[in-house]
Structure 1
Amino acid sequence: MDVQRFNHRKNDHISRNTTPDNWSETTLEDDAMKIYTRSIFADQQAELYGTLSKCLPMETKIEEPFLKISMKDWKAHGDGLLEVCFKKGEDVIASCSCRRFEQYGLLCKHIYFVFKMFKVKEIPNKYVMRRWTKDVVPNALNNTSDLNVDDNDGHKKAKEVAYEIMQTGENLIGNLMRDFDHLVIVRDQIREMKEMVDELRITKPIDPKFDRYSRLIGYEKPNTDAPPTVRVPTGIRNKGRGSHKRIKSKKEQIISLKGKRSRTCSVCNTKGHDIRTCSVLKGQASVADKKGKKRRAVQLETDPGLLDEEDEEAETGEGEEEYDEVDEADDSDSEW
């Protein structure tokens, strides 16, 4: 806020106490220089410059009590043809088809061109918006907010008097900038008044910055002398603490979002057990074994001659000894 106030006072001082360059030396530009702030005057100065290089009158029609002037604007959109409706007299009326004044509150180059054509020396008051003028905000406005009076009516009247004093001083300075002798006289009188006020010691001391900000936000300081108690908020992680966890890669993050994969049986397509413990597979094996034994029994009943030597050895148990001997021989060879 201090920076904004400083920039405001700086720009206000530049607008009020400095004089910009007047390249055209016309009365319209002089009037705009006295009325508008510096940035708005730069805009109007560019419009006045455009009356020389960008506007060309084409045709004039008389429709009582107005004159309609058609002109060519080289920088306008489209065909660049515009029309200005103008009435000269004590009450000057001017309007342009570009509608710049209706949009921004500032006159366009086309109206200025017509003003120069019909020798209008000053900008009419109806076409001067107060928000673009120098005196829209009195200088040092914030200093009047701390006036010490008894009631609200007195405060209001005191503020009005303060505004009037500031505006009067600014107008005096503005009018006497080119008259050095009278400007020095006014300065000496103001110095005498200031010395008188200093002798009476009625100047108000500057309040501390803390008190000014407290009044601004409505804060009231408690009447206790104890120091304030500051507690650490609960549930707040300290800055820079970290999570104490390993940073996962993108692949690990995607896998964790999908969830852990579980093993499924290829036979029954059931999750959670292996194919070796699948009950469906065991049931299929037992059924196949039963069917094979049953088929073998049926074949033996129909043809007893199918009983081969292996079946006889299995029944008598003679082949087991030979098998054991072969195994023993193989074991001895492998050890050797």
Structure 2
Amino acid sequence: MDATYRTNRYNMIFVPFTAINNHEKTINVGAGIISDETIESYSWLLEAFLSSQKKKPKMILTDMDPSLNSSISEVLQGCTHRLCMWHIMSKMPSKIEPDVVSHSDFKKRINQLLSFDAQDQTIEYECLHFRFFVILCSHAFRVLINYDIFKIPNKYILDRWRKNMVDIGFQKINQKWRVCNTYISNLLQDASSFYEKCIDPVIHDKEKLQELVNSLQELSVNCGKDVASKSSSNPIKEVVENIIGAQISIDVKIKVLSGIKTKGSGKRNQIKSVAEKAIAKSLKPKRICNGCKQLVNHDQRNCPINPSKVLKPFKKQ
């Protein structure tokens, strides 16, 4: 949000609202014209802008105008307010010695301003790298090292980065039994979970553990009764049947149509290349041309010294 333009004939203040899209490009999302830079004018402009939007912005960048800052704190409550770095750097020469401002190390440190809360390990920095790319920048790692923190806080590690995003036990079940049905995979996962819960309380008690083994052995015998073996089942076939909602017949007979040639490629009607044309031309028998009186592959009509062929370009002109 910037209010530095007074280029209209009425000398009114033009205030554009600029945002950043998903491609990290700036886009104009609104604009307004106010007569003065007072708190009332800025409050009216912000309220009008909010009425045209679906939700409040999460962050806003402005210059150091005190009236605008007061309006933002009143109208955009809960919105993070930051000062524009360009305005800060443009006013540096009038506030600090020129030799200090022109120093490259000074500019580098100014651009890397950040804050760190050691209690909840929250890092706030001006580059906003994590907010836009969801990856910590080198500034944040430098701060963590300075505070002797050598492990990335959990709040900055998304679930999609973690190895255990998909449960390892779930992966082993699918690999062992080659199950592609989601419902059956979930049942197998539950069975494995209940089995582990039965073992945990008796793992240090030999008698209880032996009773559990005997119970499981009896259960395995009972489970095997009246159950058809599916060792030869095809998991890919089951997945396809679940998708189409019908069973695929194993006995598929394909009837060969009669009257169709099964050998050869038929008549060659393909376009010949330049090499094929040159080879075919060289194989033709040579004859004496009435134009050049030589033993060649052309006749008088196609002879290079034919007068009509020589004068053809001039006739076009």
- TM-score range for the pair, normalised by the shorter chain length: 0.3 to 0.5
Larger Rg: 1
More helix, by proportion: 1
TM-score (norm 1): 0.32
TM-score (norm 2): 0.34
Higher relative contact order, structure no. (Cα contacts within 8 Å, ≥ 6 residues apart): 1
